[in-house]
Chain A
Amino acid sequence: AQSVTQLGSHVSVSEGALVLLRCNYSSSVPPYLFWYVQYPNQGLQLLLKYTTGATLVKGINGFEAEFKKSETSFHLTKPSAHMSDAAEYFCAVSADAGNMLTFGGGTRLMVKP
């Protein structure tokens, strides 16, 4: 069984400030981890994913995430927030036995001018 916890259902930052969205997971097998972004009334778009290899993963739109096995975390960061980053962000994990994704509850990012 696996689960994902996203701390903070709402995060507000100022434009230009650091973005940090937290994700912790539990998995009985080595996890594969994903971050998706959802804009209003749209589907999910993949930001980045970790499978194996380098633990710091770079994604689209300047986002990156670091897999920390000892902390069971996969936090998403971006050095400087842009207004267009305002959206809902979902962390997800998939199991080795299949490809279905288990999602966290999501974090809504608000960017203030």
Chain B
Amino acid sequence: NAGVMQNPRHLVRRRGQEARLRCSPMKGHSHVYWYRQLPEEGLKFMVYLQKENIIDESGMPKERFSAEFPKEGPSILRIQQVVRGDSAAYFCASSLERQSTDTQYFGPGTRLTVL
């Protein structure tokens, strides 16, 4: 049973370009979470999605960032007009249920570098 898949693993963008990060949850999981890890810091929650719905985006910057989880295909985190401060590791996690007790399984992350 494949785990959470993320691609690309490494992404380099110049300032002003767009970054698209993909996440395929574990089989059977319909809950997806995105977290950002800045250098030398812990992970910070960004957004929580279920199929076709954004449930909680309280951790996502109001501008330039968007996320989706379509009925078919992976979840996408999109960053428009990237800036140097967007350089970070972006992790996706998935869970089977929504309860707080349910385990979130993490992908290997996408490391975004903005030049």
Contacts and interface: CB of A to CB of B under 8 A. Distances in A.
A95 B101 CA distance: 9
Given A32-B101, A43-B109, A49-B103, A98 B42 contact: no
A43 B56 contact: no
A63 interface: no
B31 A103 contact: no
A92 B42 CA distance: 10
B33 interface: yes
A99 B31 contact: yes
Given A94-B100, A101-B45, A102-B45, A43 B108 contact: yes
A74 to B, nearest CB: 15
Interface string A28-68: 00001010100001111110010110000000000000000
A65 B93 CA distance: 23
Query: What interface size band does chain A fall in?
Result: 20 to 34
Interface of B: 4, 6, 31, 33, 35, 41-45, 48, 55-56, 59, 91, 93, 95, 98-109, 111
Interface of A: 4, 6, 32, 34, 36, 41-46, 49, 51-52, 90, 92, 94-106
11 contacts: A36-B106, A42-B108, A43-B4, A43-B91, A43-B106, A44-B91, A98-B98, A99-B95, A99-B100, A100-B56, A103-B43
